[in-house]
A = this chain, B = another copy of it.
Amino acid sequence: MLHSLRNYINRITSSTISDEEFKYGEAAFKMKTLKKKQFLLHEGSVCKFMSFIINGAMRQYHIDDKGNEHIISFGIEEWWISDRGSFTNLTPSRYNIDAIEDTNLLVTTRDEINSLKESSPLFLKMAHILDENSFIASQKRVEATISYTAEEKFIYLMETNPVFVKRFPQNMLASYLGITPETLSRVRKSLLGK
C-alpha cells in the first residue's frame, strides 16, 4: 500500500527517496477503507486530514439551496483529496467528500504532515510541488469555466483528464463542468457526428 505513496513522491519530486527518509513518513499515515458512497467529510465539519488515494475514486462537492450537487474536484489513484481551505484555516467546510468507488486511502493529519515536512526534505518538496501543480491546474480550470462553451468544456476535459471521462458517470462529469447532464448528453451526441 505504502509503495504507492513512495512511487508518487519519487515521481513528482523527480528523486528517489531513501528507505530511511520514507520511514519517517510511514508513521504519519493511517490506512482507511471506504465503500462506495461512504463519506470522508461532511459539510459543516472541519477537514482535519489530507488523504492520499491508493486505489478507488473520490469526489469533493457542494450541495446548493436547490439540492444541486457541484463537484469541485475528483480524486483517483495517486491523487490527494481534502478541503484545503478548511484544512489550512481550520474553518468549517462547505463541502462533502465521499467515495465514488470502493477506495483505499492513506490518511494524515495537519500536525503529522507539518512535522513530517520539517523532518523530511522530500516530503516538504512534495507538498510544495503538490500545491504548485494544484494551483496551476485550478487556474486553467477557471479559464475554461469563464471562457468556454459547454462543448469546449467537455473537449477540454477529454484532453486534460480522459480518465475521468471513461470512469465517472456523465451526471458527475456534467456537475464538474458546471453544465446539466442533459446538455452533456447532447454535446456528446453532436461530437459523434464530427
Is B138's CB under 8 angstroms from A139's CB?
Answer: yes
Q: Does A115 contact B (CB under 8 A)?
A: no
Identify A134's interface contact among B127, B135, B143, B145, CB under 8 A. B135
Number of copies: 2
- Compute how far the CA of A128 lies from the CA of B94 in the bound complex, rounded to whole angstroms: 24
For residue A152, which residue of chain B has the nearest CB?
B64
Contact assessment for A84 and B139 in the assembled complex, using a CB-CB cutoff below 8 Å: yes
Q: Is A73 an interface residue (CB 8 A)?
A: yes
Q: Confirm or deny: A42 has a beta carbon within 8 angstroms of a beta carbon on chain B.
A: no
* B147 and A146 contacting across the interface, CB-CB below 8 Å: no
A70, B132: Cβ atoms under 8 Å?
no
Q: Which residues of B contact A140 (CB under 8 A)?
A: 85
Distance in angstroms between the alpha carbons of A178 and B64 in the assembled complex: 20
| Any B CB within 8 A of the CB of A160 | no
Q: List, in ascending order, chain B residues with CB within 8 A of A64's CB.
A: 147
Q: Is A72 an interface residue (CB 8 A)?
A: yes
Q: Which residues of A contact B (CB under 8 A)?
A: 62, 64, 68, 70, 72-73, 84-85, 88, 94, 127-128, 131-132, 134-136, 138-143, 145-147, 176-178
**CB-defined A-B contacts under 8 Å, sample of 27:** A62-B143, A68-B147, A70-B143, A70-B146, A70-B147, A73-B139, A84-B132, A84-B139, A88-B136, A94-B143, A127-B128, A128-B131, A131-B132, A135-B135, A135-B138, A138-B138, A138-B139, A138-B142, A142-B142, A142-B145, A145-B145, A145-B146, A145-B178, A146-B176, A146-B177, A146-B178, A147-B178
